Amino acid sequence: MAKKRGRKSKRQYFTEDTELAIIEYLASDDQHLRNRIYNDRIHHSFYKLAENLIHTFKFYYTEVDDLEDLKHEVICFLLEKLHYFKAGKGKAFSYFSIVGKNYLILYNNKNYAKKKRKADPLEADTDDNILNEFGRQEVRNEKKEFLDMYIDYMDKILLTSFKKSEEVMVADAILTVFRRREHLEIFNKKAIYIYIREITGMETTTITKVVKVMKKIFNDCYSEYLETGYIYKQ
């Protein structure tokens, strides 16, 4: 009786050896050795990762005539960010998937905006539906990962970011809302302010002041996350 073949993993192109190769590449100062490691053990994984990201998430708003050129652009970006990868802070596959997807999201949105300015209004409305559907289904996991990092980081700097006890109380209440964010869809902005005010007893002016500080930190951290896949301040 023939032995049944197991199903191939979708991630088979990005193996444990790929991760070891990346670590060896980063540890070496010998450019010839680096080139050999990259060509023999990394390039194919980056190529397949770029290909899968483009087709899985339908990043088709491009400035290039051939998707092979877009794959090349993604690979070049992954190489640019390769030195940011830190062994022990997560799997290489997850890190480079995030970096590649973030690049393609920004690239896709930029080209979509150009297309929309030139497009027939009816066609643009159809594209909006597609883009919104993508946002609902695909981006949430990425935002969840970032928000988890952001909450952990804010916990660590809470007492240094806010000197007054009432501000610390408000910031902690906001972080509590973030932790329970699976319920946030029932809130609008005004409802969240009312909720924070009720559980802290603070005036809206204090809440607004704290939110502005937290928003600035949020934006700084998110820019860093988009660039590297991490919040290095952690």
Report the distance separating Cα 38 and Cα 41, nearest Å.
Answer: 6
pLDDT band at residue 234 under the 50/70/90 scheme: low
Residue 31 sits in which domain range?
16-138
Do residues 194 and 114 share a domain? no
Q: Is residue 116 part of a domain?
A: yes
User: Which helix (H) or strand (E) element contains residue 74?
Assistant: helix 67-80
Q: Please indicate, yes or no, if residue 233 is contained in any of the structural domains.
A: no
Domain assignment present for residue 234? The answer is no
User: Mean pLDDT in the chain?
Assistant: 77
Whether residue 183 is found in the same domain as residue 197: yes
Contact of 99 with 49, CB cutoff 8 Å: no
> Model confidence over 121-130: pLDDT tens digits?
434 343 343 3
- Quick one: 53 and 107 in the same domain? yes
If you search the block for the tokens 């607004």, which residue do you land on?
A: 208
Residues 20 and 98 in one domain: yes
**Residues 167, 131: one domain?**
no
Domain count, the chain: 2
Evaluate whether residue 88 is within a structural domain: yes
Do 100 and 196 lie in a common domain? no
The answer to whether residues 24 and 132 belong to one domain is: yes
Residue % of the chain over a pLDDT of 90: 24
Looking at 106, 138, 170, which one is the last position of a domain?
138
- Is residue 125 a part of any domain in this protein? yes
Q: Cβ distance 78 to 100 under 8 Å?
A: yes
According to the per-residue pLDDT averaged within each range, which of 58-67, 85-94, 132-141, 187-196 is highest?
Answer: 85-94
Q: Quick one: 223 and 168 in the same domain?
A: yes
- Taken in order 88, 89, 90, 96, the sign of the CA dihedral is negative
Place of tokens 């690239």: 107
d(CA 228, CA 221): 10
User: How many angstroms separate the CA atoms of 59 and 14, rounded?
Assistant: 21
What's the pTM value of the predicted model, to 2 decimals? 0.50
